[in-house]
């Protein structure tokens, strides 16, 4: 029988909150809105499906997000300089 590889895991809403910085309540709301894939257990706990190859730590995300904002700001400044020189 071939070995089956699973590319996801299930996290509790609390564990998801710790790893992402999103509150458990917000995570549950995101499940209900179809933004996150998740389910509620028979005992009422929420589980969120997280794909192994589709996630980065919150710190890495925040650093990359900050770099993108800085780059976009720099581009806007250069655009403004070029527009001023054309006048």
Structure tokens at 58: 């919150």
Residue 22 has pLDDT above 80, yes or no: yes
The distance from CA 71 to its chain's CA centroid, rounded to whole angstroms, is: 20
What's the confidence (pLDDT) of residue 28? 95
Question: In whole angstroms, what is the distance from residue 60 CA to residue 87 CA?
Answer: 41
* Model pLDDT for residues 52-85, shown as the tens digit of each residue: 776 666 777 788 899 999 999 999 999 999 999 8
Strand 46-51: give its sheet, edge to edge: 8-12, 46-51, 38-40
The reply to whether the predicted model has a pTM over 0.85 is: no
Query: Taking the C-alpha atoms of 23, 41, 39 and 1 in order, what is their torsion angle to the nearest 10 degrees?
Result: 120
């Amino acid at each position: 029988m071939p070995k089956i590889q699973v590319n996801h895991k299930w996290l509790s809403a609390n564990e998801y909150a710790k790893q992402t910085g999103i509150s458990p309540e917000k995570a549950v709301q995101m499940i209900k809105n179809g933004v996150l894939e998740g389910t509620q257990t028979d005992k009422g706990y929420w589980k969120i499906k997280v794909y192994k190859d589709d996630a980065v730590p919150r710190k890495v995300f925040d650093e990359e997000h900050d770099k993108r904002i800085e780059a976009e700001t720099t581009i806007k400044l250069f655009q403004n300089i070029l527009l001023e020189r054309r006048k």
